[in-house]
Amino acid sequence: MDNTIEYYKNLFNRNCKFSIVKKLYKRAFNYITILLVYPKIKKLKKQGFFYQDGNKIYFPSSVSYGALLLSIYKGDYEKNELELLININTEKDIILEVGGGIGFLAASIINNKKIKEYHIVEANPQLIEYIRKNTNIAASKGEKITIHNLILGEKQEKTQFFVKKDFWASSLIKPHYGKYHTKLVSCENKILFLEKINPTFLIIDIEGGEKVFFERLNLSSINKILVELHPDYIGQEKCVNLIQYFLKQGFQLKSISYPVFFFIKKNT
């Protein structure tokens, strides 16, 4: 795998080129698809759950008739992350997932792989009950799972979090469009938090908050990083700078399912 900065610049340029046109086309395509399968989509939304590996995965009924619901219907939800996770050995890992959403990835990992510990950090208080439901089977088997409803930042204080109808679009960054409301969420110092749990594997999907999250962060205990980058939120340059930071910290790119990247520390 090419680990030169020029490679990453070209990668983002290729994928971001005509991104507005691509988004409009995809939105139109999704809209037509939803119309064609509307009765089935409506039923899925009403029941509020789907199956993954034989286990029920619950999601908020407030989710709109858009890309997220369609991806659940098609079985494509979080497919980029799942593609990369298939070949990752987690047996000895203390996993810290920041941006846990409804607990889908946590449930998938815990139900299919061995782990040492799993910590889920989710800022959106409305999603905590879904994380509990979706990881309940694994927890009942004795897996060590801890759910943290908080934001990892610099200061220990209440912080404004922007909540959208589609939970995956909620973020610390004020949305560019659409309706939203705000919640004040407890914030813990990220450096002290990581020192406390000493994770070996980071899974990060925080809708544009990834650049700030990694600033001044000690990665000495970390051997693996799975991160979704959001050039639409933070720009291509900051995405490339973040990758450059990983490389300087002794990581190398192992695999990509754009825009999700998996890095592993050299000699591990």
* Percent of the chain residues past pLDDT 90, beyond the cut: 54
Segment of 18-22, 59-63, 139-143, 235-239 carrying the highest mean pLDDT: 235-239
Residue 212 lies in a domain: yes
Chain segment 79-100, per-residue pLDDT in tens: 999 999 999 999 999 999 999 9
Residue 177 confidence (pLDDT) above 70 = yes
Residue 61 confidence (pLDDT) above 80 = yes
Residue 243 lies in a domain: yes
Residue 226 lies in a domain: yes
pLDDT value at residue 178: 81
Residue 190 confidence (pLDDT) above 80 = yes
Residue 17 lies in a domain: no
Structural domain including 228 reads 78-265
Return the sign of the alpha-carbon dihedral for residues 48, 51, 56, 57: negative
Residue 142 confidence (pLDDT) above 70 = no
Chain segment 5-45, per-residue pLDDT in tens: 888 888 888 877 656 677 777 778 878 888 888 899 999 99
We report the CATH number of the domain holding residue 133 as 3.40.50.150
* Percent of the chain residues past pLDDT 70, beyond the cut: 94
Residue 72 lies in a domain: no
- Backbone φ and ψ for 120, nearest 5 degrees, come out as -115, 120
Report the C-alpha gap between 239 and 210 in whole angstroms. 9
- Total structural domains in the chain? 1
pLDDT value at residue 63: 83
Which residue would you say has higher pLDDT here, 149 or 64? 149
Confidence of residue 67 (pLDDT cuts 50, 70, 90): confident
Residue 47 lies in a domain: no
What average pLDDT does the segment 98-123 reach? Answer: 93
Chain segment 204-259, per-residue pLDDT in tens: 998 888 999 999 898 999 999 999 999 988 889 999 999 999 999 999 999 999 99
Residue 50 confidence (pLDDT) above 80 = yes
Residue 103 lies in a domain: yes
CA nearest 134: which of 55, 74, 44, 43?
55
What average pLDDT does the segment 60-77 reach? Answer: 85
Residue 141 confidence (pLDDT) above 70 = no
Residue 58 lies in a domain: no
Confidence of residue 156 (pLDDT cuts 50, 70, 90): confident
Which residue would you say has higher pLDDT here, 109 or 166? 109
Residue 137 confidence (pLDDT) above 90 = no
* β-pair partners for 56: 51
Beta-carbon contacts of 248 under 8 Å, excluding residues fewer than 6 positions away, are none
